[in-house]
Structure 1
Amino acid sequence: MPVSSRRIRSEDWKPIGVDELEKNALIVVQSAKNRSVIAGPGAGKTELLAQRAAYLLQTGKAPAPRRILAISFKRDAATNLTARVRQRCHRNHADRFDSMTFDAFAKGLIDRFGQALPQRWRPRPNYDIMFPVERDYREFLSQLVGTPPATVGTYADIQAISVKTFERRYLVGSPLPVDGLPNSTPVQWAADRFWQMSLHTGNKSVLSFPMIGRLAEILLRVNPIVRDALRLTYSHVFMDEFQDTTQIQYDLVRTIFLGTDTVITAVGDNKQQIMRWAMAMDDPFTAFDETFGATRTPLSNNYRSSPELVRIQHILAQALDARAVAPVSKTVGTITGDSCAIWDFSTPEIEAKRLAAFIASEMKAHTLAPRDFVLLVRQKANEYAAILGPAFATVGIHLRNEAGMVGSIMLQDLLVEAASELIVAILRLAITTRAGRHWSKCQVALVTLWGIAYDDEVAQANLARELDAYVLKFKANHNNPPNSKAESRQIIDDIIGFIGCDRLISTHPAYGQGEWLEKVLDSIAEHLWMSAVAGTKWVPALDIYEGIHAVPLMTIHKSKGLEYHSVIFVGLDDGAWWSFSNDQIEATAGFFVAFTRAKQRVVFTYCAQRGARTNIAVLYQLLINAGVKIVNIA
């Protein structure tokens, strides 16, 4: 049934598309106050926020023309939330919902208003994005920074600066002072030099996303007109995956919304904090509750995992938070045998062979698809794929390393790029006989890209005719997928020409900076060409592009937010978890994240040839305490 666009009285509103919400979830959905929501694995965080958006928009609690802003840590989380809100709301409501990442939000502010920054902090309009790592800071401090004034220190003092803390503590550790960073010590002087060289040296400014976040915060601090415009625009703010929020991101939100009537809902799970290495705050929930006067609200239902897996999850959760509330599984167990086990193998080759045979058998016995399974690794996915891939191919299963690079972009990241998703949707529409869902997806995307009003029926009818004419022409000119990268790029450019490059950049501002759009389109072209090898037709080529018939292999960090029937974690050993002792809390959280991706089964594998399991004995002990068996396979 289509979702109505009419205003609904708050007392008459009911959850949309679901049978019911748990009591605390409904309280959050209808809340008029700031709340921090601790939502464990499978609690339905995306659904909770979508229902809250529907309630606020449909009842007028978020009154037009004010909007709702949802900011997430990851792009796919932002995209998924947008899609869910569109399912729950009529379009004239959903069009007032803005979902984006923190990085995109900050970057959008700099792209629109950055030239209003004080000259000292003002980047050139067409700046480039950099992704610095420790070696870049080491090179800067050893070769590029220069010699400080005698009043500050010596070259030797610069060499003594800790590379590990230079960015986190001194470069972006605090809000930027309007008059410039202090430079009375060697490390302060070096941080100021890094900023000024990045902003003002060369033909273009070069900025990292943490630097952009800091610039966005000072921009709003010194330009109250821009800040107040945001306050007037957004009546409500959602902060998703809040456990991964950095101090930079938190300070930006605080500068904009503290002390206003904007209601903020922060949702996440403190047991899944695996981004402290990327500057996530130690305890953002407590800071939020204290600063914004938020009410802490836990959710207890788990709609993902079977009762047995939820029981084990709780034992793991208590190692991270002794106060963790025991979740309630709302899912039925469907497998026979162990829901969780540790399999010991003598060699990686035997491990690969047995895992391939196991998945092939399970797919056949239970009518499961390849993407009902996932192979997770801690790191070095390429090395695992080199051994696992051939074994899976032997039983007729394609194992896809989603951590592999396509051009300069990781495959898993490429697939959630807006340009990639739109191009695939148009290709699917062009080559599918009964293409209803592809037609709807393209229509919705193009209406947004082309700025057509939801109630402009004439413009929408014209768009439908243009889209129909384009796909007919495309199919006539490209009956088969490309047989070279050059041909693939021609196809991509043709689609972008129809969409409108300027429209794409206007809707997705990240594509307007530097060479990012070119890198994305080049990677799309390469991946499309490689997916069409061996004379495949369009449908199988696009299936390969999206990995529909492949078992995915990925890292723990990239699995966050995803779910699978069966999770196989390969390599529970000291070698893979070499940094376990450096931050045992974050490592255990990563272990928890890997476990909680599963709906029905989790298998951990160990191979003595890869390393001992002495340093991570605590992880094994947690599983043993939960009654998980170690099985010697070979």
Structure 2
Amino acid sequence: MKPNLDTLNANQRSAVEWTDGPVLVLAGPGSGKTLVLTLRAARILQNDPDASMLSLTFTTKAADEMRQRLDTLIGGRAERAHLCTFHSFAGDVLRQHGSHVGIQPDFSMLANDEDRIAVLDGVIGKLICDTSALPTDRKNLLFLLDRLFAESYNGEPTAPGMTKTPPWIPPLFKAYCETLQSSNRLDFGALLHFARLLLSSNAGVSRLTRLAWQYISVDEFQDTNRAQYDLLSLLAVGKQPNLFVVADDDQIIYQWNGASPERLLALRSDFEMNVIQLPENFRCPPVIIQLANNLIAFNQTRSEGKQPLVAMKAATDTPALKAEKFNSEEEEAANIPKVISKSGWRPEDCAVLARNARLLDRAANALTENGLQSFLAKRKTEFESPAVRWLFSMLRLANARHDRELLRRVCVAWNHFTGSLIEFEDVEAEAALDGGDFLRAWVNTASSREPIDTHVQLLTQISSTVVDRIDFLQLLEAFWNAKYVDDALEAEEIATWRELHSSLTREHAPENMTLHLYLQEMDLKSKAPAQLPGSIRCLTVHGAKGMEFKHVFLIGMADEVFPSYQATKKGHESKEMEEERRNCFVAITRAEETLNISWSRTYNGYAKRPSRFLEEMGFKFKKPAS
């Protein structure tokens, strides 16, 4: 199918028809940026049979959406486009060439804090320096490591962003990285760290990687941290690289994760970017666009010459905007189900947004109490149902058959799954007689003790598919089609796993899907379930980014709630306040038809004023008597 450009406006068409050289597309919310990215990729790949394209995204959801659209447009030619997140790309590079920096292709991922803290404790115990000043809360140390990785830190005496670097930081960081190398395990920050280290230190690998991709595109560039930017800079070299970047500086809301308005300025300077703007908004009613333009104009840190949003939807007779004050948080939350029921809206067309999760819990309870189903979206790094957790643990052990910690988890998970206790020490003794293969030893031990027919069948399947030959795809199908426990969580997690599996097989051909590749990619993905049919999504503003809903309820619009207490203490002109304003800009531009804004007189027992952002949007309030 030939990409149809006739439906595009002039700005969109200019972006789609851009082929060579660097360009920055400043794309406002609801401007059709995904369509532009996809049509441009389809046009280039269809017109040039030798072209190849690397398209980097910020989320796996965005990569999946683009991949499906591209497959529909150009079919088999889409195979010459690699659509993935920065982390997934870093994993690809390390699987192919990581041995140059001490990382083997079958590395495993440290996907949860518990595993990372265990590594950290081992590192701290061996440090030859004064560790008395280290934070006792290990999660604070993990946050520090994440920030160091995000800032492309390499262990120098001075850490970025610190006026005075504690003397224990360089040795701790270096020892942590060395431990990851020696154990062949990586966390999310280390993926980018070692990929960047590889491409910056090995000219041959760097050249091979660059030659693989004639065109590079980046979506949601404003969300990137320093490490991702440095990685991109190692791929797009030369005076006029074919670099196509889509961004919106008015939607930079991840400064806590290393994103920065200054990075967009650096991009324009470093690559001498041409600029195309997409100010047209096809999503929101005109009254909401006016609010958004009024609000964001108060920010000083914006791209030079940034155009205001232009509403492409016509105004309707149905009111699109409502703002309401309540006496209490309970009243505010109770109003949501009343409005939905009175309006006759479909629950799945509605969303509740708030600056923090506590407000969402109250809203979700109010929905449930009124007979409406809520859906609180939360990131989930591990499967939790006993059967699914056990199988995933088995696959991990199959990938690292001499790992004692993975064996321990298999034993624990099997006990939770079947009620049958298999002692770790018994398996270890069995393995000692068979070359230290914990997987084979565990299956042999379990098979000799397990009397339940369904579990014997499962163990036989395990033995034939992953112990003697790695055919885990066959095992997965058999496991998914069997029902071992009548458990709602198990059914939900199997459905989630199948969806993630489908996404992976679209990205990687089954014949190329090794077990270690499969596990690495699975560990990069959230195990949170999809939205339940007929439910109302309750999301933080950060969680709602990139989404759109017909009817949006934005709650908690009070000073020291939204904007946050921390931002108000930093001051009205602070960078923290500007980020809060961008958060609010993102929130109100999620609405396709109606926006209901609300606030309470009190939160947590403290009296609050209406959010200053309401006045900036154009709402008028009576000044309190002096």
Same fold (TM > 0.5): yes
Residue pair 1:142, 1:159 contacting (<8 A) in 2 also: no
The change in CA–CA distance for 1:378 and 1:496 in structure 2 (over 3 A counts) is closer
Give the counterpart letter for 1:113 in structure 2: H
Q: Work out whether 1:621 is the aligned partner of 2:620.
A: no
3-state SS of 1:591 partner: helix
Q: Work out whether 1:552 is the aligned partner of 2:537.
A: yes
Give the counterpart letter for 1:27 in structure 2: S
1:428 matched residue in structure 2: none
1:589 matched residue in structure 2: 582
3-state SS of 1:234 partner: coil
1:53 matched residue in structure 2: 41
Residue pair 1:171, 1:191 contacting (<8 A) in 2 also: no
- Relative to structure 2, which stretch is displaced further, 314-323 or 76-85? 314-323
Q: Distance in 1 between matches of 2:182 and 2:581?
A: 45
3-state SS of 2:322 partner: strand
Show CA shifts across 1:467-519 (max 9, x none). Answer: xxx99x999x88999556667788999999999999398289764239839x9
The change in CA–CA distance for 1:260 and 1:229 in structure 2 (over 3 A counts) is farther
3-state SS of 2:594 partner: strand
Q: Distance in 1 between matches of 2:216 and 2:144?
A: 32
2:523 matched residue in structure 1: 516
2:323 matched residue in structure 1: 342
Give the counterpart letter for 2:312 in structure 1: K
**Structure 2 counterpart of 1:384, from 352, 357, 360:** 360
CA shift, 1:171, in A, is 5.3
- Relative to structure 2, which stretch is displaced further, 272-281 or 198-207? 198-207
Q: Distance in 1 between matches of 2:518 and 2:194?
A: 20
CA shift, 1:262, in A, is 4.2
Show CA shifts across 1:262-301 (max 9, x none). Answer: 4011101100000110011332222112111211221121
Residue pair 2:557, 2:611 contacting (<8 A) in 1 also: no
1:69 matched residue in structure 2: 54
CA shift, 1:127, in A, is 3.4
Q: Distance in 2 between matches of 1:487 and 1:371?
A: 21
Q: Work out whether 1:569 is the aligned partner of 2:569.
A: no
3-state SS of 2:268 partner: helix
3-state SS of 2:45 partner: helix
3-state SS of 1:580 partner: helix
2:599 matched residue in structure 1: 606
Show CA shifts across 1:158-185 (max 9, x none). Answer: 679x969954775553464xxx756999
Q: Note the residue ranges of structure 1 that are not aligned, 5 or more in a row.
A: 5-14, 149-153, 410-469, 528-544
Give the counterpart letter for 2:76 in structure 1: N
Give the counterpart letter for 1:356 in structure 2: P
1:94 matched residue in structure 2: 78
2:284 matched residue in structure 1: 305
Q: Distance in 1 between matches of 2:243 and 2:324?
A: 45
1:108 matched residue in structure 2: 92
Q: Work out whether 1:503 is the aligned partner of 2:485.
A: no
Q: Distance in 2 between matches of 1:590 and 1:480?
A: 45
Q: Distance in 1 between matches of 2:365 and 2:243?
A: 50
Residue pair 1:371, 1:552 contacting (<8 A) in 2 also: yes
CA shift, 1:591, in A, is 0.9
Give the counterpart letter for 2:595 in structure 1: V
The change in CA–CA distance for 1:508 and 1:564 in structure 2 (over 3 A counts) is farther
State how many pairs are aligned: 508
**Structure 1 counterpart of 2:110, from 112, 117, 129:** 129
3-state SS of 1:344 partner: strand
Question: CA-atom RMSD, angstroms?
Answer: 4.4
The change in CA–CA distance for 1:377 and 1:336 in structure 2 (over 3 A counts) is same
Show CA shifts across 1:68-102 (max 9, x none). Answer: 11101122122222222223x22122221211111
Residue pair 1:341, 1:628 contacting (<8 A) in 2 also: no
Q: Distance in 2 between matches of 1:621 and 1:59?
A: 51
Q: Distance in 1 between matches of 2:589 and 2:356?
A: 18
Show CA shifts across 1:293-334 (max 9, x none). Answer: 211221121111111111111111212256541222111334
3-state SS of 1:220 partner: helix
Aligned residue runs from structure 1 range 235-254, under 5 A: 235-254=214-233
CA shift, 1:140, in A, is 6.5
Q: Distance in 2 between matches of 1:168 and 1:489?
A: 28
Give the counterpart letter for 1:23 in structure 2: A
The change in CA–CA distance for 1:488 and 1:606 in structure 2 (over 3 A counts) is closer
Residue pair 1:170, 1:187 contacting (<8 A) in 2 also: no
Aligned residue runs from structure 1 range 440-479, under 5 A: none
Give the counterpart letter for 1:601 in structure 2: T
Residue pair 2:90, 2:191 contacting (<8 A) in 1 also: yes
CA shift, 1:354, in A, is 2.1
CA shift, 1:51, in A, is 1.4
Residue pair 1:505, 1:511 contacting (<8 A) in 2 also: no
CA shift, 1:30, in A, is 1.6
The change in CA–CA distance for 1:49 and 1:225 in structure 2 (over 3 A counts) is same
Q: Note the residue ranges of structure 2 that are not aligned, 5 or more in a row.
A: 385-475, 571-575
Give the counterpart letter for 2:39 in structure 1: Q
Q: Distance in 1 between matches of 2:176 and 2:339?
A: 55
3-state SS of 1:320 partner: coil
The change in CA–CA distance for 1:42 and 1:93 in structure 2 (over 3 A counts) is same
CA shift, 1:335, in A, is 5.2
Residue pair 1:340, 1:628 contacting (<8 A) in 2 also: no
- Relative to structure 2, which stretch is displaced further, 275-284 or 33-42? 275-284
- TM-score scaled by length of structure 1: 0.69
1:233 matched residue in structure 2: 212
Give the counterpart letter for 2:523 in structure 1: W
Residue pair 1:199, 1:205 contacting (<8 A) in 2 also: no
The change in CA–CA distance for 1:131 and 1:617 in structure 2 (over 3 A counts) is same
3-state SS of 1:283 partner: helix
Show CA shifts across 1:381-428 (max 9, x none). Answer: 5x633x43453245442111123759668xxxxxxxxxxxxxxxxxxx
Q: Work out whether 1:330 is the aligned partner of 2:319.
A: no
Q: Distance in 2 between matches of 1:189 and 1:406?
A: 30
The change in CA–CA distance for 1:253 and 1:571 in structure 2 (over 3 A counts) is same
Q: Distance in 1 between matches of 2:548 and 2:498?
A: 35
Show CA shifts across 1:426-480 (max 9, x none). Answer: xxxxxxxxxxxxxxxxxxxxxxxxxxxxxxxxxxxxxxxxxxxx99x999x8899
The change in CA–CA distance for 1:261 and 1:504 in structure 2 (over 3 A counts) is farther
1:445 matched residue in structure 2: none
Q: Distance in 2 between matches of 1:239 and 1:495?
A: 25
3-state SS of 1:319 partner: coil
- TM-score scaled by length of structure 2: 0.70
1:23 matched residue in structure 2: 10
